Structure 1
Amino acid sequence: MAWPSSAEAAGPPSVPRRQTIGLIGGLGPLACARFYSRLVELTDADTDAAHPEVILLSSPAVPSRLDHLLHGGPSPAPALREVARRLQAAGAELIALPSLTSQTYRCEIAAALDIPVVDMLTALTRHLHAAGVHRPALAVTDGTRQVGHLHSALTAEGLHPVLPGPQDQERVQECVHLVKSGQVDAARELFRSVVGAPWASAGDAFVIGCTDLSPLVTEPPPHIHDVGDIYARAVLAYAAV
């Protein structure tokens, strides 16, 4: 008869308690898939059971954030609130909203809940400040630029954002459009020219400021900061109890 080892006799190792993450998906779908993948990859875990519980809801009923911000289309806030309520009802203890443009509606979503919505703007600003970045070159959507919430958050901390001119901004937005339409290879090729453009070199770091763009650079060099990765780390830190 084989006797159990002392480790086996002691039972399985204790699993750290983490809050259940409610993930609002579909903003866009590939961005959400990439974000969930990063949650898994960035979790310090050696067993399946050590990963946080994640409830993901990707709803096609959420209207376009860009159409609302740029063209006066229907607000996505009611649909986003409904998705968040459904996640809370399913047991989520915090909400992750992995879209910088959609962070425009974060306060409206949070007001409808009894649980927090993790703030991406604060996470990004703190990360850049801690990294010693002073002049971040921002690749963001037209909607994020128009709202100006990221620019305000950065300048409030003494950072001096660098933004592309009209033609380069069109290329950034075209990359987003290509990703959303499933043309990822074309988007990746175009995004290389965005990262290598002169305006980007005017900053001391380059910020991928849209999670739709996150899948286009799988292993970013040290001077490139991906808002998706930064937010994933912030969500995991928030979920730790």
Structure 2
Amino acid sequence: MYTLGIIGGMGSLATAQYFERLVLSTPAKNDHEHINTVILNHATLPDRTSCILENRGERFLQAIKPDFEVMNKIGVKAIALPCNTSHYYYDEFKKYTDIPVINMIEKTIETISQRNFTKACVFATEGTLSAKVYEKYAEQYNIELVSLSSEERAKVMEIIYSIKATNHIEEASFNELIARHCDKDTVGIIACTELSLIPILKENKAYTIDALDVLVRESIRYHNN
């Protein structure tokens, strides 16, 4: 009955944004042609970045494992997690279910390769960057990752957690970072679902790819198959 299971709450606003994009992107002519979806908004999941940096991954995994068990009982066709940092634990997730778990990270890198970019700059949480979540797949597709400075990484974290805490969006600051690092050769990966909430200037759009949009596309693909 249900095609898609969403394990969300990382954060809640980002999950809402993902679902909104999913609905708007689905080629439905009426209500009945939209995707039957279960959203499990587990807002109290431990912070992913803290768990990675403090080597407390088991705490996060113990908390999220029951969510996969819920999806197993419901019997969805695919599971989506609209959180880049959580994909550090992707291999563990696959142990919890036989249901396909959409790999947002790999599909994003694959899309970059298809668009013929040779370099990418990852805008993400410190957890995603420190854990090298994107590096594994970038190497497979021969994509060179361009590093942010420590000051820039700190600024991105400030922007992300400001959205989480107060819904305050620093549009100018983020677009300035994109303009500084991205061009016809280097694509900027919007690799945190909070950053997906920030409007991207027209002149920057051609040089960015939003991992959340990739997740939406792959979610619809499961619906159509």
With structure 2 as the length reference, what TM-score do the two structures score?
A: 0.91
Residue 76 of structure 2 is aligned to residue 92 of structure 1: yes
Structure whose alpha-carbon radius of gyration is higher: 1
From the superposition, tell whether residues 219 and 96 of structure 1 become closer, same or farther in structure 2 (CA, over 3 Å).
farther
Q: Indicate the SS of the match to 1:184.
A: coil
* Structure 1: segments with no counterpart, 5+ residues: 1-17
The counterpart of 2:24, out of the listed 38, 41, 44, is 41
From the superposition, tell whether residues 50 and 219 of structure 1 become closer, same or farther in structure 2 (CA, over 3 Å).
farther
1:53-92 aligned within 5 A: 53-73=36-56, 75-92=59-76
Look up the match of 2:179.
Answer: 196
Identical positions, percent: 23
Which is further off, 156-165 or 86-95?
Answer: 86-95
1:158 partner amino acid = N
Residue 19 of structure 2 is aligned to residue 32 of structure 1: no
The counterpart of 2:198, out of the listed 204, 209, 216, is 216
Residue-by-residue CA offset, 1:183-222 (whole Å, 9 max, x unaligned): 323x33432232233x445952221111111010267622
Q: Indicate the SS of the match to 2:188.
A: strand
Look up the match of 1:178.
Answer: 162
Residue 138 of structure 2 is aligned to residue 158 of structure 1: no
Per the TM alignment, residue 134 of structure 1 is displaced from its structure 2 partner at its CA by 0.8
1:219-238 aligned within 5 A: 221-238=205-222
From the superposition, tell whether residues 218 and 85 of structure 1 become closer, same or farther in structure 2 (CA, over 3 Å).
farther
Structure 2 CA distance for aligned equivalents of residues 202 and 174 of structure 1: 27
* Structure 2: segments with no counterpart, 5+ residues: none
With structure 1 as the length reference, what TM-score do the two structures score?
A: 0.85
The counterpart of 1:104, out of the listed 78, 83, 88, is 88
Per the TM alignment, residue 108 of structure 1 is displaced from its structure 2 partner at its CA by 1.4
Q: Indicate the SS of the match to 1:118.
A: coil
Per the TM alignment, residue 64 of structure 1 is displaced from its structure 2 partner at its CA by 0.8
Asked if the contact 1:19–1:239 (Cα under 8 Å) also holds between the matched residues in 2, the reply is: no
Which is further off, 106-115 or 169-178?
Answer: 106-115
Q: Number of aligned residue pairs: give it.
A: 222
Structure 1 CA distance for aligned equivalents of residues 192 and 51 of structure 2: 17
